Amino acid sequence: DTAVSQTPKYLVTQMGNDKSIKCEQNLGHDTMYWYKQDSKKFLKIMFSYNNKELIINETVPNRFSPKSPDKAHLNLHINSLELGDSAVYFCASSPSGLYTEAFFGQGTRLTVV
Amino acid sequence: SQQGEEDPQALSIQEGENATMNCSYKTSINNLQWYRQNSGRGLVHLILIRSNEREKHSGRLRVTLDTSKKSSSLLITASRAADTASYFCATDHPLKVFGAGTTVTVRA
pLDDT tens digit string along A39-72? 999 988 999 999 888 988 888 999 999 999 999 9
First to last CA, chain B: 38
Q: Which residues of A touch B8 (CB under 8 A)?
A: none
Q: Which residues of B touch A40 (CB under 8 A)?
A: 100
Kind of pairing between the strands at B55-58 and B61-66: antiparallel
Closest partner residue to B93 among A35, A100, A107, by Cβ? A100
Q: What is the pLDDT of residue A34?
A: 95
Whole-number mean pLDDT of chain A? 94
Residue B15 to residue B28: CA distance in whole angstroms: 36
Q: What is the pLDDT of residue A1?
A: 67
Evaluate if residue B1 carries a pLDDT over 50: no
Dihedral sign computed on CA atoms, order B23, A34, A95, A1: negative
pLDDT tens profile B46-105 = 999 999 999 999 999 999 999 999 999 999 999 999 999 999 999 887 778 777 899 999
